[in-house]
Amino acid sequence: MSIDQQIYNTAIEQGFRPTAAKLIVAQARFESADYTSNVFKRNNNTSGVKFIGQKNATQGTLSPEGNYYAKYNTIQDSLNDKIVRLYNINMRGVAPEQLKNARSADEFAKLLKQRGYYGASENEYAAGLKSKLLRINAIEFVQKNKNSLILGLILLGAGLWYYKKLKNK
């Protein structure tokens, strides 16, 4: 199972609506540079969560701010810490149901900002989520339409071959 699917499934199991679950996938991709960041690779940390004594984590690599990232044994442990624990508590007036029902990147970014989740501007964060959503939607489209796309490419190739054959006569 892909990391995206694992994140999505965990969010759905926790009561997130499909759009909000996709936003969490976009968030993980955005915050981990599409799962290529050192924080992700060295700590199984999907979102740069800091270590604050979580039961399912240990002290990971040093952050630029001088504290430490949470290091998880598995990616699922990281998801459980963020989606199951953190996103299921009220923070700074934002209830879990608000996150679970978010309908857009702008709304999700605003709610996370209210919760004190990130330091960037709300617009920058929302733009990052939107860019990752585009990628997720493109991947989803290709996966759902793989057979049609293959058939289309075959027909295109056959058409080009026939065109060249006629042109050379």
Closest by Cα among 40, 135, 134 to 79: 40
CATH code at position 144 = 1.10.530.10
Q: Which residues are bridge partners to 91 per DSSP?
A: 94
Share of the chain above pLDDT 70, in %: 88
The pLDDT tens digits of the residues spanning 68-80 come to 999 999 999 999 9
Residue of higher predicted confidence among 28 and 157: 28
User: Hunting for tokens 């002290």 — which residue is that?
Assistant: 59
pLDDT at 159: 74
Residue, of 64 and 158, whose pLDDT is higher: 64
User: ∠ CA(133), CA(88), CA(79), 5° rounding?
Assistant: 55
User: Can you say how many angstroms the Cα of residue 137 is from the centroid of all Cα atoms in its chain?
Assistant: 12
Those residues whose C-beta lies under 8 Å from the C-beta of residue 83, and which sit 6 or more positions away, are 7, 10, 11, 14, 16, 24
Residue-number span of the structural domain to which 160 is assigned = 3-167
pLDDT of 143 over the 70 cut = no
Q: Is the pLDDT of residue 52 over 90?
A: yes
Query: Where does the pLDDT of residue 128 fall: very low under 50, low under 70, confident under 90, or very high at 90 and above?
Result: confident
Tally of domains within the chain? 1
Tell which wins on pLDDT, 125 or 74. 74
Looking at residue 147, what is its pLDDT?
Answer: 66
Please spell the DSSP secondary structure of 111-159, one letter per residue.
HHHHTT---S-HHHHHHHHHHHHHHHHHHHHHHHTHHHHHHHHHHHHHH
Q: What is the mean pLDDT of residues 46-50?
A: 92
Confidence of residue 46 (pLDDT cuts 50, 70, 90): very high
Q: What is the pLDDT of residue 45?
A: 96
Q: How many CB atoms lie within 10 A of CB 158?
A: 10
Per-residue pLDDT at 138: 55
pLDDT band at 38 (very low <50, low <70, confident <90, very high): very high
